[in-house]
Structure 1
Amino acid sequence: MGRRPAAPLRLRAGDREVLEAVAGGADPPAARRARILLAASDGVSNTEIAESLGASRQSILKWRGRYVAEGVDCLRDRPRPGRPRALDPAEVVAQTLRAPSSAEASNGRWSTRTLAATLGVSSATVARAWTQYGLAPSEAGGIELDTRPIAILRPGRILGLLVAAPVGLVAFAEAERGTYRHTAGESASRQGAGRIGLGAAREVAAELATARAHEERNGVADPSVEDVAVFLEHAREYGAQVIGTGVGISEHGEAATVDTFSEWRRTVETLALAAAVAGDVEGLRSLRDRLRAFSSSEGTVTWYDGSVSIARPTRVTMRDVATAAGVSIKTVSNGLTGAKRVAPETQRRIDQAVRELGYQVNTAARQLRTGRHGALVLAVPELRLSYFAELAEQIIDEAERRHLNVLVQTTRGDLERELRVIDSARRRADGLIIAAQALNHDTLSRLTTTGPLVMLGEAVQGIGVDQITISNADAATTAMDHLLESGRRRVVMLGIAARAVAEARVRGCRSSADRHGVDLDPALMLPATMWRRDEGERALLELLDRGVPFDAVVGFNDELALGAQHALLARGVDIPKDVAVIGFDNSYDAVYSTPGLTSIAPAFDVIAHAAVSLVTEFPAKGGPTRAPTQIIAPHRLIVRGSTS
């Protein structure tokens, strides 16, 4: 009697996809085992599988049994008895760059113990390799490099290299996720990019050491500011991460840095291993050849990946702009940076020359040369409020005219976030413009900032920073005068809060009411912590439910006023016949609401121009030693259908 066919092997959920991937992979032993299990799951008899794959029937039974006990983890070679095998530290790093499976590391991060078990080596071997390359494991196959700030590295490509010891720059771009992750069942000896990739990475390391020795023997001139700036521009264009060392590099905010050239060279070796894991053998060989050619030449090594079309452009210089505009280079510089005011006609000629020649300010070179970033930070409580969104647009436009970038931060009106933004701006930008809500007199008076800091909002007396505001009390008086002069007497003040702007607007409303002989009812003073539409709507609905009579609403911003208007219309209240509504900020929504919202319009253009000017003119006007400036921007009343 023949043997009874074995029942089809039942695969765990998701295992078929893994087995199919391994069966077509580059690891022959693991692929053969995967094909055995796939055939067994399809109901092929053990004898037929053995005959088709040239294996013994006993072997087929063994792998079926191993799968039942271990799942797809059975595809890996088990650790062999005896002393753990020795392993090249580069291979340890290569394996560290591969994301572990859940079976290998349940938290998604290698440890010395889990990686050692996977590689079949001791934990000490793994620890020594990590120390040698100055790294620590991160999540999902990443590694943390010992740089400032810490750089997280994953498999990818080296896109560029600039070598002129003690200055060094390397640009690296991460590969797309999923293009290099290994499948379960690859044997440890075949993980990584393979021997060819690791060999190419080792050759890059060797040639880099040779190039360093050549420099020490023959001497190489420091790279120019322009060389460094162009390199950084290329890296930025291709979204590459830059790691550097040397004079001037540590001051550049775009590059992570290490202290010495030796540390930087070790970092490049690690990047080469990451490129090997990603399979970029050709790129590594191209870099190797460029370094090899350097050993018989003079000058700075500057290399870009030949498979990425990066060419040094023919740059339009500031001298070209000056010639076209018929002015000096210094005048062009003043016109572009706003460091000094130039005549309107001269500014027009400079701007025209910039447009016609396609000139772009080399911000990287300017920072390296002057220590300035070419950027300012704008911090506002939130961008959902139309006032801050429109103010941000005006400031960004004003900064653009001066060829400055603007980094926008939101603080939610939180004191800790406002203080963090102030501290961060010192390192990242040439100045800070902040619409602060939580900073008070005590906090501001203790600030020790030495760079430009411009406060927007209600003026705070006795602090040593520049301030720009509208007179909130006067603006509120204007709004209340408009309502009272039209015969309104029961006026709601919507937006009572413990902040300087709200308190100033209350004072302005009271001043107007006193002059008109009108008593303000405390029941009509409605609090609102967040000046948003939902708060305005909620407050008015509650007031209507209480049955308190009123004939006008002053919303302390347009958002509150529009929310109040929505609540009134929903309850069938006629605007403005029964209740008039007025807001602050003159937002776009105020223009297009139905009816149009009467609003106090601050001069956004004046505020933006003054704020950016205070930042850019700060050094020329004496820096931190000069007396602080206080500017009051004008406002006006825009009357629409909500009040007339």
Structure 2
Amino acid sequence: MATRLSDVAARAGVSVKTVSNVINDYPHITARTRAKVEAAIADLNYKPNVSARSLRKGRSDFIALAIPEMGSPYFAELGAAISRAAKRRGITVLIDQTEGESAAEQFVLDGMRGQLIDGIIFSPLATAPAELTAADTGKPLVLLGERPAGGQFDRVAVDSVQASYDATSHLISLGRRRIAAIGVGGTSTGAVRRKGYRKALKAAGLPHDATLELAAAGYHRLDGATSMRELLALPEPPDAVFCFNDLLALGALRTLAEAGLQVPEDVAVAGFDDIEDGRYHSPTLTTISPDKDWLAENAVSLLLDRIAGTDEDGEVVHRDLTVPYTLEIRESTAG
């Protein structure tokens, strides 16, 4: 049989209430009593009933992070930052991988049907803005990424239009005139970052060439490598490429190396996300670097504010926070 609270109390020679106070870290317990109870807990291998404690508190101190891919370096780094930010507040993060599937994302929007979590941080991929607007999660939720929250949820996101404009403008400043874009289709990320790319071309008086815009099946190294091969097969290949994430850029760099081309002398390459791999690649990768720690801190803070309650006047005012970023210029464009 499982060890009960009363068993611990009997072993320690104290009341059940005292054992409960020790487990819940009640401050007014003598060191001697606390030591006796902790020794009894260890001797009996007692495991507190988390569900019962949650019911008493009205909170579990668990939150969920729902992301498309745990294997993606960007989401892995972001997940680690969110976990650290939550841990500093005494909160545990449970991670769910949606793989960008509609059914899995709808499960998140339905509140994940879990009594164990207090709220959700969610990076949607397949969910349309109208579905977000109509969602009723039953739990506090904070959105990450390009999709507008529609006034329904708090959101934390990079200004991808401006960031993509900055990355493309950097390539233009190098004297490049045939600038390709990889990753333009299929997702809200592709649409938003293409908007910034095209805006920069227009501002510089450069023509828009549809053959230089490539949609990718995914946002992985293979997709970047495949797209780069298509670009090199053009009658007039590009002299620069803006990839909509770093994995696409790393794949493109591989193809350029296999083709015997020099980066950045023949083709300059820029990415987006500033994953660790790009900093240690040869050449190192120029990229848009979002402040992931800032993003994590603010996403967790927003969610915990929602879990704690509404604003002071009782009105729910949803907040949309913009993540600071820098353009990190490295060898793939600067040589």
* TM-score, length-scaled by structure 2: 0.84
Residue 368 of structure 1, CA deviation: 2.8
Which residue of the partner structure matches residue 83 of structure 2?
A: 396
Cα RMSD of the aligned pairs, angstroms, is 2.9
- 1:431-483 deviation line (CA, Å, top 9, x unaligned): 00011011112211111123210110014153411111010000001101100
Which residue of the partner structure matches residue 125 of structure 2?
A: 437
1:317 aligns with 2:5: no
Of all paired residues, the percent bearing the same amino acid is: 35
Which residue of the partner structure matches residue 422 of structure 1?
A: 109
Matches within 5 A, 1:539-554: 539-554=227-242
Contact 1:491 1:551 in 2 (8 A): yes
1:460 aligns with 2:135: no
- Write the distance in 2 (CA, Å) between the matches of 1:558 and 1:504: 16
1:587 aligns with 2:275: yes
- 1:384-418 deviation line (CA, Å, top 9, x unaligned): 21111110000011111111111101111111101
Matches within 5 A, 1:237-636: 317-319=25-27, 366-423=53-110, 424=112, 426-460=114-148, 462-622=150-310, 625-636=315-326
Residue 629 of structure 1, CA deviation: 1.1
Matches within 5 A, 1:16-27: none
- Number of matched residues? 308
Q: In the superposition, relative to structure 1, how do residues 385 and 548 fare at CA in structure 2: closer, same or farther (>3 Å)?
A: farther
Secondary structure in structure 2 of the residue aligned to 1:618: helix
Contact 1:535 1:563 in 2 (8 A): yes
**Aligned amino acid, residue 582 of structure 1:** A
- Write the distance in 2 (CA, Å) between the matches of 1:567 and 1:414: 30
Secondary structure in structure 2 of the residue aligned to 1:577: coil
Q: In the superposition, relative to structure 1, how do residues 380 and 580 fare at CA in structure 2: closer, same or farther (>3 Å)?
A: same
- Write the distance in 1 (CA, Å) between the matches of 2:130 and 2:22: 53
Contact 2:66 2:122 in 1 (8 A): yes
- Write the distance in 2 (CA, Å) between the matches of 1:600 and 1:435: 19
Which residue of the partner structure matches residue 260 of structure 1?
A: none
Contact 1:363 1:374 in 2 (8 A): no
**Aligned amino acid, residue 389 of structure 1:** A
- Write the distance in 1 (CA, Å) between the matches of 2:51 and 2:157: 34
Residue 161 of structure 1, CA deviation: 5.5
CA radius of gyration, larger in: 1
Q: In the superposition, relative to structure 1, how do residues 461 and 374 fare at CA in structure 2: closer, same or farther (>3 Å)?
A: closer
- 1:549-573 deviation line (CA, Å, top 9, x unaligned): 2100101000000000010011101
- Write the distance in 2 (CA, Å) between the matches of 1:463 and 1:427: 25
Secondary structure in structure 1 of the residue aligned to 2:332: coil
**Aligned amino acid, residue 408 of structure 1:** I
- 1:226-284 deviation line (CA, Å, top 9, x unaligned): x49x89xxxxxxxxxxxxxxxxxxxxxxxxxxxxxxxxxxxxxxxxxxxxxxxxxxxxx
Residue 498 of structure 1, CA deviation: 2.6
Which residue of the partner structure matches residue 36 of structure 2?
A: none
Which residue of the partner structure matches residue 637 of structure 1?
A: 327
Q: In the superposition, relative to structure 1, how do residues 587 and 320 fare at CA in structure 2: closer, same or farther (>3 Å)?
A: farther
- Write the distance in 2 (CA, Å) between the matches of 1:618 and 1:522: 44
Residue 504 of structure 1, CA deviation: 1.0
Contact 1:396 1:405 in 2 (8 A): yes
Q: In the superposition, relative to structure 1, how do residues 362 and 617 fare at CA in structure 2: closer, same or farther (>3 Å)?
A: farther
- 1:604-634 deviation line (CA, Å, top 9, x unaligned): 0111011111111114441795121111111
Residue 542 of structure 1, CA deviation: 2.4
**Aligned amino acid, residue 332 of structure 2:** S
Q: In the superposition, relative to structure 1, how do residues 630 and 425 fare at CA in structure 2: closer, same or farther (>3 Å)?
A: farther
- 1:75-119 deviation line (CA, Å, top 9, x unaligned): xxxxxxxxxxxxxxxxxxxxxxxxxxxxxxxxxxxxxxxxxxxxx
Which residue of the partner structure matches residue 248 of structure 1?
A: none
Contact 1:490 1:520 in 2 (8 A): no
- Write the distance in 1 (CA, Å) between the matches of 2:84 and 2:299: 12
**Aligned amino acid, residue 296 of structure 2:** A
Structure number with higher relative contact order (C-alpha < 8 Å, ≥ 6 residues apart): 2
* TM-score, length-scaled by structure 1: 0.45
- Write the distance in 1 (CA, Å) between the matches of 2:128 and 2:122: 13
- Write the distance in 2 (CA, Å) between the matches of 1:451 and 1:313: 29
Unaligned runs of 5+ in 2: 32-47
- Write the distance in 1 (CA, Å) between the matches of 2:315 and 2:71: 37
Contact 1:469 1:631 in 2 (8 A): yes
**Aligned amino acid, residue 539 of structure 1:** S
Contact 1:430 1:615 in 2 (8 A): no
- Write the distance in 2 (CA, Å) between the matches of 1:616 and 1:573: 50
Residue 543 of structure 1, CA deviation: 2.3
Unaligned runs of 5+ in 1: 1-157, 163-226, 232-289, 291-298, 301-310, 325-360
**Aligned amino acid, residue 484 of structure 1:** I
Contact 2:242 2:271 in 1 (8 A): yes
